[in-house]
Amino acid sequence: MTAIVPHLDHVVINVAEGLNSSELLFRRLGFSLTSRGHHSLGSSNHLAIFNDNYLELLGFEDRSTLLRKELWQAPLGLNGLVWKTQNADAVYQHLTQRQVDDAEPKAFYRPVKLNDGTEPNARFQTVSIDASRIAHGRSFFCQHVTPELVWRGEWQSHPNAVSDITEFVIAAADIRQAAQVYVDVFGDEQLHEVDDQELSLSAGRARVRFVTPQKAEAEWGIAPFEQAFESKMIALTFATHSLDAARQSLQRGDIHFTERNNQLVVQVGQGLGLTLIFSEQ
């Protein structure tokens, strides 16, 4: 395997023990969420499924049964950048060759409640990029063994009219250093210099943006880091079919937002430290 094309599969928002409050918050934001799922590794989640990618609220209900011990100490908020693959074993070989592997592919499953009353297992294989190379988060590849149990039409309609995640934003004082691990994985030709404050990586219908704190503040009003992070996953942009539908959803949910550059910008609280941007496309 000589090359991998970057393609965003999903994003992970770590909510730890706050699954109940986070579920309510994201429903108020206008997202339709799946019923709570429970992984064989002990973690639990809710998903917002879009056309090409999805958002995952990941946490746990019972710490004593959690096999994924790293979730105890993982930072709250946006902390998972996940790539599509149809062959986790081949990706692992590729990462090993590039010396950016972390561990062998991990297999697990999650029962899924369908409308017909059945509850089949959605199965996955994941393989991680070297965790020491990802500041303040993690990045891995996900092979959906049963994609038909994830991308289902009944879950893809949202009151805020969102169709896909289109941007994943990482802020860093040194944007080239923050992007280097993805250059090592995908190749230098995948990285594009937007200007002296931004690098960009195309990822299917989305793009990953590496921006300076100054550019984040200028574009969305996000203040520079309160702590001395090397880099931090700070924001998501969503494509919506109707900015008015997104606006009405936020108003119904009593969510404070600002309008900047024909976008709706939400600063998410509850300790998540996350900015959500809605853009009509």
Fold of the CATH domain 162-280: 2,3-Dihydroxybiphenyl 1,2-Dioxygenase; domain 1 (3.10.180)
- What is the predicted pLDDT for the residue at 227? 60
- What is the predicted pLDDT for the residue at 223? 74
Q: Where does the chain hold its CATH 3.10.180.10 domain(s)?
A: 8-155, 162-280
* pLDDT tens string 64-104: 666 666 666 678 999 999 999 999 999 999 999 999 999 89
- What is the predicted pLDDT for the residue at 66? 65
What mean pLDDT value characterizes the chain? 93
Which CATH superfamily groups domain 8-155?
2,3-Dihydroxybiphenyl 1,2-Dioxygenase, domain 1 (3.10.180.10)
* pLDDT tens string 161-200: 999 999 999 999 999 999 999 999 999 999 999 999 999 9
Specify the amino acid at residue 92.
Answer: Y
Closest CA to 233 of 147, 187, 167, 154: 167
CB-based contacts of 109: which residues, under 8 Å, 6+ apart? 39, 40, 121, 122, 123, 124
**What's the gap between Cα 135 and its chain centre?**
15
71 vs 246, more confident: 246
* pLDDT tens string 22-73: 999 999 999 999 999 999 988 999 999 999 999 999 998 876 666 666 666 6
- How many residues belong to the chain? 281
pLDDT bin (cut points 50, 70, 90) of residue 241 is very high
Alpha-carbon span 182 to 100, nearest angstrom = 10
Alpha-carbon span 78 to 94, nearest angstrom = 26
Distances (CA, A) of 114 to 153, 221, 249, 272: 12, 41, 26, 30
Decide if 218 contacts 227 (C-beta within 8 A).
Answer: no
